Amino acid sequence: MVETSGVLGVVAVALGMVLTPGPNMIYLVSRSITQGRRAGIVSLGGVALGFLVYLLAANLGLSVVFIAVPELYLAVKLAGAAYLAHLAWNALKPGGVSAFAPRDVPHDSPRRLFMTGLMTNLLNPKIAIMYLSLIPQFIDLDEGHVLLQGLVLGSVQIAVSVAVNLTLVLAAGTIAVFLSHRPSWLRAQRYLMGTVLGALAVSVAVDSSVPAKAS
């Protein structure tokens, strides 16, 4: 029902987004460096719940709206392409700041860590754009079962994002020390991610597909 190409496309988008420094990465890494891995894992639990909220909200409402109003689908798609281009520029522009730079943050309780992780994700424009614009483009409307396809593809994104973020949480301290002595490696990571996001932005912008009624 879900095409392999769609799954691979979502994996590519999820990797490009999660590996580009943003609110989630900065919060999780800074929390892990300053308060330890356990705090980072608790915070990641809140972030994961935020992904689930977006997954359910987007698929229970937007799939119907996009089919009924294809112009809205086009507008959101172009907004997604523009935002990807914005992320690509932020990754490629001179003077970018590493997400692994130490930050002075106070120690919080597990409950506060979880809720802050949740709110950081819910208020993250990267995640909103991904669920509103990017993931829906990998749904094959002609195959029907739009809701199920959206849930499956969204679950793939969550799995990729949580796995990558968990790796960053566990390795944050080591990575921070490693990159602090190797600025050229940090630049290479930024350039790679910027190139990937730029290519995705172009691909999304030139895609001429439009929603049609599912059969």
Instruction: Determine the pLDDT at residue 159.
Output: 96
Average of per-residue pLDDT across 181-189? 68
Closest-CA residue to 100 (of 19, 38, 46, 160): 19
Average of per-residue pLDDT across 115-127? 84
pLDDT at 35 over 90: no
The whole-angstrom separation of Cα 100 and Cα 126 is 19
Residue type, 207: D
Question: Is the pTM for the entire model greater than 0.85?
Answer: no
Average of per-residue pLDDT across 102-131? 80
Average of per-residue pLDDT across 14-35? 81
pLDDT at 36 over 50: yes
Q: Dihedral sign, CA of 142, 148, 151, 157?
A: negative
